[in-house]
A and B are shown apart, each in its own frame.
Chain A
Amino acid sequence: DTGVSQDPRHKITKRGQNVTFRCDPISEHNRLYWYRQTLGQGPEFLTYFQNEAQLEKSRLLSDRFSAERPKGSFSTLEIQRTEQGDSAMYLCASSRSNEQFFGPGTRLTVL
């Protein structure tokens, strides 16, 4: 299966620690998106890449968040000095046209 994959699937960390998530998009998809989904809510847009260029960042993405997509392939999302409010599901999606294909997400729990 060549769908979107995300690693890890679950992450538990202590407040103040740094965490990094990885997303591998569908091959040849030039667009990659990160969303955050909290319990009982729909996903909220965080940031968008077209190839290796990060073209848009949501105001939700504080200075503690950084995302990269080196060489326009996989992407990483890093959260520094995690806070309890960062606990959520982090979803990655990729697309080549109108449809976005989502990965299974990384569930982050900050204790």
Chain B
Amino acid sequence: AQTVTQSQPEMSVQEAETVTLSCTYDTSESDYYLFWYKQPPSRQMILVIRQEAYKQQNATENRFSVNFQKAAKSFSLKISDSQLGDAAMYFCAYRSLLTEGNSKLTFGKGITLSVRP
């Protein structure tokens, strides 16, 4: 079974600065997806960024980028130019591609990011 580990429970960043959130995972599979989801307080979870394991190029979405190290099974999220609205809980998630159809997600425990004005 796959596992996702987020070892930092909390992080804080100054507004306009850059912060990196860490995630490691364990799998014996070679093809899979990795995701970062954002869950603001009392609001629903939204997708921040996605990485396909077969792609060597790191995914980027505006101020959000990932550092995907497949051999090390590491998938960190970098948030540049942090904004107050980035304050939320962030979850790293794994999706297997072996199970046809069922694309259930396996989540880490999450990290609470606070942004200081």
Contact = CB atoms under 8 A, between A and B. Distances in A.
Interface of B: 4, 6, 9, 33, 37, 43-47, 50, 91, 93, 95, 101-110
Interface in A82-111: 91, 95, 98-105
Interface in A1-55: 3-4, 31, 33, 35, 40-45, 48, 50, 55
A56 B91 CA distance: 23
B45 A56 contact: no
A99 B104 contact: no
A44 B107 contact: yes
A98 B9 CA distance: 27
A103 B46 CA distance: 9
Is chain B's binding surface mostly helix, strand, loop or mixed?
A: loop
Contacts of B46: 102
Given A41-B109, A42-B110, A98-B50, A56 B104 contact: yes
Contacts, number: 56
Contacts of B101: 31, 50, 55
A102 B45 contact: yes
A87 B43 CA distance: 18
Contact of B104 (A4, A42, A45, A91): A45
Given A102-B46, A105-B44, A31 B103 contact: yes
Given A40-B109, A41-B109, A41-B110, A102 B44 contact: yes
A103 B105 contact: no
* A interface bracket (residues with beta carbon within 8 Å of B): 20 to 34
A106 to B, nearest CB: 12
Nearest to B110: A42
Contacts of A45: 104-106
A47 to B, nearest CB: 9
A44 B108 CA distance: 9
Contacts of B109: 40-42
B102 A43 contact: no
A100 B103 contact: yes
